Structures are given as C-alpha cells and as structure tokens.
Structure 1
Amino acid sequence: MSDGNDIPDPAAARPPEDTRADVTLVGRGVTVDAGVEVSTEFGIVVRPVGVGAGWKTAVTPGDDVELYWRSRDGERTMPARIVQVEAGNEPRWHLAATGPAQESRRRKAVRGRVALPVHLPWSDGQLVGETVDLSESGALVLVDGWGLPPQPGTALDVSITVEDDVVRLRGRVVWHRTSGARWLVSLSFAGIHERDEDVLRKRVFQALREERARAR
C-alpha cells in the first residue's frame, strides 16, 4: 500500500498559497521576501514584504523575475514575468510563468550590507571584527589583523553574532586585502545547517528592508 510519498507534490509545480517565496528581480539583482496569495495554473499573485512602498511599486509590467520556494522534495525555481502591479499600502505583483518549475540545486544567495560582530580563530589567537556584507553562502569581513593573513583556500571557523544568537560556521578564504593593521577577508561557507542559513537570511532581509526605508 502506498505511504503517500509517491503522490506528486503540488508545491513542485508552483509555490503554494499562504506561504512565503523569494522573488528575484532579474534586472536588478535584488531578491525580496513575498507572501504567496494566489497560485494557480493561470497566474501567481505575491505580496512583497518589507518597510516602505516605493520599491514595491517601482517594478513595471514586463519585468522578469525568478521565484524560489521549498517543496517536499527540495528547493524549486521558476522563471516568471510581472504582468500587473497593484498599487496601495500593500502592493501585489501579478506574475505569469515563462517556463516550468525546476529543481534548484543551489538557492541564489541574498547578500546585504550588514555589520555584525565576527570572530575568527587564527594562529593560536583570534581575529575580531565585523561583517561588511553577508549572505548565507559567504561574507566579507573586516578584522583587526596580526601576524600573517590567511591565504586563499585556508579553512577557518567563523562565529557571527546575530542579536542574541551566535552562528558558528565553517568558512574558506576566497581572497584577502590588507590595509595597515586591518584585513578585509572574503569568506565562503560550506555545509551550513538549515537553521543557521535561515538566521542569516532573516538578518540580511532585515538589512535590505532598512536600506530601502532609508532610500525613500
């Protein structure tokens, strides 16, 4: 008898209603969090979430987007196009799919400028500084350096303080640049736990919303 796992997951074809999805504005390279209000074979309506309204109505019909969401079987992506923008205090974007949903092997990282305390154990000591920008796949950090800087490819433990939480990650140096006693280090993350990924993404989205509010 079937245990239900062989039943096709509707969320594999389109994001379910009353859930959240990431919407990437392809022409701008910006990803926003959105609530899915309507999702049928005829179209999808999303409500972008965040402070301010200007950036939500700056999009126009014809703009290409990419949707990202999670189904039972993993992450999914689907290309779409904005066909209508409803103005108001809570704008809605009406989307039409321009291609089928596919498996997303690597969710696009959302990067934002955010300064958070960071600690990197290094050479029997610890490098202390803050993030310059951040995503769930990596970070650019500025630290007080001493001795010789870590070379590209060096594996490092990374601790980032997010409010009352400390996210501990395994990073690898992509490149570094020294400026006197300070080092600018680009890091990529590997094997990040889903819980830590969600913490970082939530903080990055908060930073993006704050940035948009200041730009109003």
Structure 2
Amino acid sequence: MAEDSEERLILLLGQYGILHLCRNPEALEAVNNAAVSGVVCQIITHLDKRTIRFFNELHDSIEVRHSDELESLGFVKDGVEVIQYLNIEDNPVGRGKDDAALIIESPAFAESHVNLIDTIWESAVMFDTAVARYTDNQINDPLRLTIGEGSFLKNITSALGIDEELPDEDTPFDPDAFFAAGNEVNQARKKLTEGKLSNFKTRNRHSPYVETNW
C-alpha cells in the first residue's frame, strides 16, 4: 500500500504497531521511500517508553503523534483505501500467524474514517513532547487557563493570586514598563520550556499589582 501512495499515507500503530512495522524491513522501507518521494506520512501511536527507540528508524519527514484515544491498527492510503486490522497477536514480537485484516475500498467509508483520524490528530501530542514525558518525566504541553464566566478582571486576579486592591483609575501608558513586562514574560516562557517549574515566581517591578505564581 505504501508503495502505491501518491498523496497521503496514515498509519495507526497503536501501542506496539511500530514493532510490527520495523520487524518487516520491506514494509519499513516502503513507508520511508513514500516519505522521501513527497507523500505526506502521518503516524498516530500510543507511545510506550519501550518502543521509543524504534521510531528512529523512520524517515525524518514522517510526523508522529501520541494519542491515548486510538488503540486500533490500520492504514489509510490517499483517503480512498483503508486497511483495518480485525485481529492481531497479543505478543508484540510474535510472528503474527493469526493476524487478520480487512481491506475496504470505499471512498465514503474512507472519508468518514479520515475525518475521525484528523480530529484525533489535532488533539494528539507531538512526538518530542511525548518522549520528554516518558523519558525525562517532563510535561511540556502548553499551559491552559480557563477564565470562565463573570468578571474577567476578578477571575484573572483570583487565578494569579492577587489579593491587593486594584486602582479605580487607569495609570498613564508607560512604554518602558510595557516593554519591560514583555521581556519578563519572554524570560518566564524560556524557564517553562526548560522545565523549571518549581518555586517559579515573577513580579513586574514596574507595577505592584502583577504577580504570577506557578
């Protein structure tokens, strides 16, 4: 299937599918060759720390993401042909004598299947981020803050732990303070990307009303 791909090849590898792929040199070479030829190759896997090293055998242009929502194994070629595994051996390093798969050549089914995969793909974790989580015990996912309903000002000050009273009137715009605050935010982002979350605390020296605790 990989050899015949022209535009897009999606591989659903579950938790141990990468082992099945790598133990078959011809299949692995076909996937890598498809990527080299310009085919968009995407892999959704349930990453396991024991299988991380096998992904190094994939071509650099193949994008891999981790998801807990998809355990099935299968392939989609050019959005028109689907292979769905019905049965696969429990032993990840077995010979696969009892493996069974269904080939579906239906544009309508393939389209609905791709739509589901694309939805999962958007929420899946980038490979490097997932690897850092499993190997370095780092959480590199973007920080998210839900403000919710009600007063934005009250909610944000509560989330940031600001207990001081805020001024009733706006202070004149100070460009120096504005750019200084931006520099502090950039420094904070740099520290977060380095994984230094413990006892991280910053205060805007130009304003007594902004303090952030992580």
Aligning the two structures, in what range does the TM-score lie when normalised by the shorter sequence? Answer: under 0.3
Q: Which has the higher helix share?
A: 2
Give the TM-score of the pair, scaled to structure 2. 0.22
- Give the greater-gyration-radius structure (CA): 2
Q: Which has the higher strand share?
A: 1
Give the TM-score of the pair, scaled to structure 1. 0.22
